[in-house]
Amino acid sequence: MSFIEINDLSHVYHRGQADEIAALSHVSLKIDDGEFVAVLGANGSGKSTLAKHLNAILLPTGGSVVVDGMDTRDMAHLWDIRQEVGMVFQNPDNQIIAAVVEDDVAFGPENLGVPSDEIRKRVDDSLALVGMSDFARFAPHLLSGGQKQRIAIAGALAMHTRCLVLDEPTAMLDPVGRAEVLNAVRELHENEKITVIYITHFMEEAAAASRVVVMERGEVVVDDEPHGVFPCVEEMKKRGLDVPLASEVAWRLRKQGVKLPDNIISDDELVAAICR
Amino acid sequence: MSIELKNVTYTYMRGTAFERTALKDITLTLKENSLTAIAGHTGSGKSTLVQHLNGLLHPTSGVVTVDGTDIAGKSKEAVDARRKVGMVFQYPEHQLFEETVEKDVAFGPKNMGLSSDEVTRRVKNALGFVNIDYDNYKDRSPFQMSGGQMRRVAIAGVLAMEPKYLVLDEPTAGLDPRGRDELIAGIMRFHREHNMTIILVSHSMDDIALMADRVVFMHDGRVLLDAPPTEAFFAKDAIKEAGLNQPRTVTLLNKLKEHGLDVDVASFKVDDTVKRIMSAIKRRKSC
């Protein structure tokens, strides 16, 4: 059994009302422990609705979501599920509540009734994992966007979360902040074996994942590794999406007769192919 | 005609323990018909700066003039000068409130006291520029639309006031790639056809490189660099100090050059980048 099993999941908002809208239709996905899955799709394609099902913020109106063997519809498992699956949202200012960084990170484990010396250890470990140890006593409002997002991630880690669901965590960040957050996520995935589900509109970020899921009108339309997804330049553009610059440049060069491999997704791969 | 900042300094919470000077002696001219991009990391002073352009904040010291009029006062002239500057904040879709798209976009021009024919003309025009079909969408609720469409309707509401100067703060943040491309194309058309002066705040160096004729890098409350994109995006030290990066095209071309391809790196457009790589490959083969 996979870590997360999404079985024929549908979600209808405002069912029975004039503004009824089907946000997810018959989505089935299995996500294994330790995967790094990027989720792409146009605005309104159902990405965020899907994400909110992974820790029972939303419950299915059809089908089911099972996390580590626990059905999200079973209220008895609610807190176990939320502990295993942590969420980080787009706006860093909406998810930090305490006046001091380390208090914010401690908030989750405190609510679980974790003993205080254990909390101390978890907070220190979590801040170290996202490279924010030096800021433990800072006021969050003095931090940059990238730093705030890493504090939000540390808050989830302090819960001993096994899986991070990040919903466009870099959309509001400056270039340095974007790099900080993506690097922190990659390190957590590689070193701590955290399962990552990463929603983004930045194709270069998605290329860092081990698997890419593309959503369209509430359905999963592509599910493949990045090297299988991004070389399909025309298909991705037709869906209103994009590809990494290197994929597009390689595709256009090939159309003009330059001999290049058909699976290029990064600058380094393109450079290696051209400057042999 | 222009917006001018002369020796503008702004201090938040002056006289308290939280006192912080966000702008330090800024002198800057935003010329009519230009498209100036303002870039800088979080906390560099960008947002504080643009809030001075229509009088949402007044300088602690220094002067902001719009077409020669000091906008700080309460006189009719100062009020009129402030109204020449339209402001689109981050996530403008959060400010939608009307029942229909038409009513929402018409709200600003109606409050300007324009005739109903003129209001309708402006609403149609503004929606056209952001690529929202008037006949199809005018009676729909903006809250039934996708995020990208809502963003465009909200921007149309400001365009419909036909301000002489338009400030856009992160207009493409959170939009999907197609929504981003369409919005940029609409803004550029409005800029050209209405000669609208635009001040664009953005974290996307790719967008800035494609749109702006001038780039201002802010750092620590000061203007670090003020130059055309062809110059600014090759000022490596300034880019590093400002915590920014080069556009993706330049990054790729630089890597190719470092690995021995004799290619011209000053390109911001994808098709142009491909052309340059193509000709460099051909040159290489011929020798």
Q: Copy the structure tokens of residue A78.
A: 């609610």
Q: Examine residue A80 and state whether it is found in any structural domain, yes or no.
A: yes
- CA-based nearest residue in chain A for residue B256: A271
Q: Examine residue A268 and state whether it is found in any structural domain, yes or no.
A: no
Q: Which residues of A touch B255 (CB under 8 A)?
A: 267-268, 271
pLDDT at A208 over 80: yes
- Average model confidence (pLDDT) for chain B? 93
Residue A35: give its domain's CATH number. 3.40.50.300
d(CA A124, CA A105): 9
pLDDT of residue A101: 96
Task: Tell whether B185 lies on the interface with A, counting CB pairs under 8 A.
Answer: no
Question: pLDDT tens-digit profile of A156-195?
Answer: 999 999 999 999 999 989 999 999 999 999 999 999 999 9
Indicate the pLDDT class of residue A141, thresholds 50, 70 and 90. confident
Distance from A178 to chain B by nearest Cα, in Å?
10
Q: Examine residue A275 and state whether it is found in any structural domain, yes or no.
A: no
pLDDT of residue B137: 93
Q: Torsion angle, CA of B100/B105/B108/B113, rounded to 10 degrees? A: -80
Residue intervals in chain B for CATH 3.40.50.300: 1-32+40-84+198-244
Would the CB atoms of B177 and A246 count as touching at under 8 Å?
A: no
Of the candidates A251, A204, A249, the one whose C-alpha atom is nearest the C-alpha of residue A40 is A204
Question: pLDDT tens-digit profile of B106-165?
Answer: 999 999 999 999 999 999 999 998 889 999 999 999 988 877 789 999 999 999 999 999
CB B62 within 8 A of CB B50: no
Would the CB atoms of B146 and A90 count as touching at under 8 Å?
A: no
CATH H-level, domain B1-32+40-84+198-244: superfamily: P-loop containing nucleotide triphosphate hydrolases (3.40.50.300)
Predicted interface score ipTM higher than 0.90: no
| B165 membership: H or E segment, kind and range | strand B165-169
**Contacts of B246-250 spanning 24+ positions with Cβ under 8 A:** B246/B205, B247/B205, B247/B206, B247/B208, B247/B209, B248/A204, B248/A245, B248/B206, B249/A245, B249/B206, B249/B209, B249/B273, B250/B209
CB atoms within 10 A of CB B148: 24
Question: pLDDT tens-digit profile of B209-232?
Answer: 999 999 999 999 999 999 999 999
Q: Which one of A171, A204, A245 has the shortest CB-CB distance to B173?
A: A171
pLDDT at B28 over 90: yes
Q: Examine residue A252 and state whether it is found in any structural domain, yes or no.
A: no
CB B91 within 8 A of CB B107: no
Distance from B252 to chain A by nearest Cα, in Å?
6
Task: Tell whether B205 lies on the interface with A, counting CB pairs under 8 A.
Answer: yes
Question: pLDDT tens-digit profile of B39-80?
Answer: 999 889 999 999 999 999 999 999 999 999 999 988 999 999
pLDDT at B174 over 90: no
Domain encompassing residue A225? 4-243
User: Number of folded domains in chain A?
Assistant: 1
Question: pLDDT tens-digit profile of A212-241?
Answer: 999 999 999 999 999 999 999 999 999 999
pLDDT of residue B287: 58
